[in-house]
Structure formats: structure tokens, C-alpha cells
Amino acid sequence: MVNLSILLKFANSFDFHVHTLVFLSNSTNDVYRFTKRNRSYYLRITQKPLEYEEKIKAELDWIQYLVKKGVRAALPIQTSKNQFTAVCQEDNKWYIATAFEAATGSFFDKNSDQYWNPKIFRNWGETMGMMHRLSKTYESSEVNGSRDSWSMSGNNNPNLQVGRYKVLRDKWISMERQIDILPRDKEAFGLIHHDFHPYNFVIQNETITVFDFDDSIFGWFSLDIAIAATHAIWWGVKKEDRCAKNEFAHLFLYEFLMGYRKENDLSERWVKTIPMFMEYRNICSFFWWLGDWDGDESRLTEEQRNAIDNAVKLIERHVPFDGCDIKI
């Protein structure tokens, strides 16, 4: 968490009282909720080199374009100096702040028919389809091209080059090489959300409002779909057995793609890459833990060690994503 002096500076920049801040999370960024004139907003603080501000400006530019064209998304708000970012430096570190309107609605609940049902899956797909269609014609007004493009990770951690960790790493590298040679034509590749999972949108009357575009990159549209499907299956299945996962995956992808195709045309060739990208997202999840791992297994939780063991068994048996038989 950042210290109070930084929070005071950003509270002054966005013209709100610092005592209204409520800390929410600090996974990639520090995120707070605050109140201004009886309305709720979110403050996101990123600790990055100052040059990264241009990437954030590109993110915000795209959000505003999407909303202007009809996508329901949480809009950024301006500072008192009519800027969409605020920066400060402390202890030779730069901090970049952005603030967003609070989207109205509730998060998904897999045990509630109101907040987790086929109509929501279809609307989720329709929202993403609209975003991808608009991505094809989007041109940034200020910083076009400053968001990153998908690239291979290149992790050379020596602790991942032995035993079961090597099995995971080899699978990861093999998949990235397979992905890297895919075409990047305009009909299948563009600016994507890259993290459009169920905790990055809220639901109101089955309508979707999306937020958290911080991971947005230039990537394949089918990768964006696969990320949504992967997280839906991870978090949205009521029973953890393979049969339940397969059944839910079939239902989810059918409804999601029905909605998606209302807004964007994606050829069957690219639709068939979705299961591969789902498996890739699953493999990537292990390296969220292991990317900078020092080799000390006691630093991994029992749940993480069990997940790695299970993943390695599936890889060695040539069984795809999380034991599911995803067919489209």
C-alpha cells in the first residue's frame, strides 16, 4: 500500500477528501474506493516508471472511444487540472493515478440464477463482440500504438528447469511458440481487454458494465474470448467434477458465442483456436506464482503445489485445459 502523503496528493488532484478512501486491493495496482459529492469512484495507483503514463493514457483513450460508441464501461474522470492522470514522485519512485466512475450493479454469483445465467453469458459475449468490432476501426487520438502487443514471455528462471516445473515450463514455451506464429490480421487481431473475467464487470438487469482495462493489449480476439471462458469455468461451475465442467463449458461457450456473433464476425478458423487459448491461459496461471519463484517449495501453498501436480499429470497424459474436453 502507498503511504498517506501520496494519497493526499492524489486526493488533492482529483478533488476529494482523503478520509473517504477505502482500501480494496493491491495485486497489480493499489485500488481504493472514494466518495466525491455523494458519488462513489475508484482510485487506481500504479507504481511504474514515468514513461508508463503514456500506456495508461492509451488505455483511457480506448475506454472513452468504446463508451462513445455504445459499450457500457466505467469511464475515467478528470483531475482538477482537466487531465485523466495524476503523477507524483517519492523516494525515487513514480506513482501514476487514475480515477473511474463506479459502475452500477452486482458481481456474478454462481449460486444465484439472477446473477449467473445463460442470458448473462450471451450479453457478456455481445459486449466483447462489440468491443472487438470497434477495435478494428479504432485509432487513438493521441497515443496510437502505445499499448503493448502480445509477445512471448521468455522466462529463464533456473528453478523452473528441473522436474515437474520443467514439464510446466516446457508446455508453456511450446504453446507460446505455437501462438507466436499465428497471423495477426485485422479481422482477428486488435486491441483487446485481455482480462474480461467475471470480477471485471458488474451486472444490472442482466446488462454488463465492464471495467479494469489495465491489462489491455493488441492480441487475438479468440484469446480474449478464451480468457472469459477459462475464468467462467474456473469460478462458475457449481460442482468441480469433470462432467460438470464439460457440461458448463458447452453451455457457456454456446451462449457466449451467440451473443458475440451478434456484434462481430469471427471466422470458424479462429473460433477453433479458443480451446487452445483456454489451455494457454490455464498454463499461464501457474507462472503468476512461479515467475520470480526462488525454488523454495515452502513458499508455495499446499493448494498451489497440488494444482501443479495435477497440471503436470494432465500434461503427461495429453489431456487439455483443466481436464475439460472443450469442443466447439
* CA atoms of 63 and 84, how far apart (whole Å): 12
Residue labelled with grid coordinates 517519492: 90
Chain centroid to CA 178? 22
Residue 137 main-chain phi, psi, to 5 deg: -115, 0
What is the pLDDT at residue 238?
A: 86
Give yes or no for a contact between 263 and 130, defined as CB atoms under 8 angstroms apart.
yes
Centre a 10 Å sphere on the Cβ of residue 173 and count the other Cβ atoms it contains: 15
Closest C-alpha among 184, 284, 306, 312 to residue 227: 284
What CA dihedral angle connects 2, 58, 179 and 172, to 10 degrees? 0
**Strand partners of residue 297:** none
Centre a 10 Å sphere on the Cβ of residue 100 and count the other Cβ atoms it contains: 21
Where helices occur in 141-215 by DSSP H, the ranges are 163-180
Give yes or no for a contact between 307 and 286, defined as CB atoms under 8 angstroms apart.
yes
What is the per-residue pLDDT across 52-109, written as a single tens digit (0 to 9) for each? Answer: 999 999 999 999 999 999 999 999 999 999 999 999 999 999 999 999 999 999 999 9
* CA atoms of 12 and 86, how far apart (whole Å): 10
Give yes or no for a contact between 162 and 97, defined as CB atoms under 8 angstroms apart.
no
Question: What domains does the chain contain, in order, with CATH numbers?
Answer: 4-101 (3.30.200.20), 118-323 (3.90.1200.10)
> How much is the pTM?
0.95
Where helices occur in the chain by DSSP H, the ranges are 4-13, 53-68, 118-135, 163-180, 221-236, 242-263, 268-271, 274-290, 302-316
* Cβ-Cβ contacts under 8 Å for 80 (sequence gap 6 or more): 12, 13, 14, 15
How many degrees, rounded to 5, is the angle at CA 302 between CA 298 and CA 306? 120
Residue 281 main-chain phi, psi, to 5 deg: -60, -40
* CA atoms of 212 and 231, how far apart (whole Å): 15
* Ranges of the chain with pLDDT below 70: 141-145, 323
What is the per-residue pLDDT across 7-16, written as a single tens digit (0 to 9) for each? Answer: 999 999 999 9
